[in-house]
Amino acid sequence: MKRRESGKSKKRKLIKWVLIGIPILFIVSGISVVAIFGWEMTKSTVHLSKTVVMPYKPENKQKVFKTDYWDTIPKPGESLGALNIESLDLSYPVVQGTREEELKEGIGHMMGTMLPGQGGHVILSGHRDTVFRELEHLEVGDEITFSTKYGDFIYEAVGFEIVSADDRSVAVPKDYETLTLTTCYPFDYIGDAPDRYIVYTELKSSP
């Protein structure tokens, strides 16, 4: 009888250890899998942190000209020079500001945008029935010269666009030198025109 009880006792102990051991085995296995996965993720993160990601740059990015021109901001109505477009036989003075009183003097430079030689976005505006009457005849490749007290900044027309009058996407900062011309559109419209005619350029040379 004692041998039978002893055998049963050993069997019960074995079953007990098996029942306890199996969950422990699963827990240890789970911890091992999580540890291995975490280590691999850590290695991947470290590798990515050391990887240099090159920012996107357009292939045909325009030239950047950095100068010390225009160390003070011109006052409204102040003369900045003249704009000349030989292909259109166009030549008009350029003044600071685009209010009506300034546009009566010629072509207006939009305040808040860059000036020639500052390496940014230069925007000029003018009336379609006066200074920019012939602007619709400008063609890609035509040169536009902005003559200033520092010398001539020569730009080349590269594209045209018609946008609504309330479109503000044209007047955005840029990290390279470019000139944009704007005027009301259609050119033969009577009254407040609903659109704007935009000329895009790239800088070809500076003083």
Catalytic annotation, residues: 127, 184
Strands 195-205 and 178-185: antiparallel
Place of tokens 């000139």: 179
Q: Are strands 90-96 and 107-109 parallel, antiparallel or unpaired?
A: parallel
Reading the block at residue 54, the tokens are 């090159």
User: Based on the number of CB atoms within 10 Å of its own CB, is 22 exposed (0-12), middle (13-18) or buried (19 or more)?
Assistant: exposed
Element (H, E) at 66: none
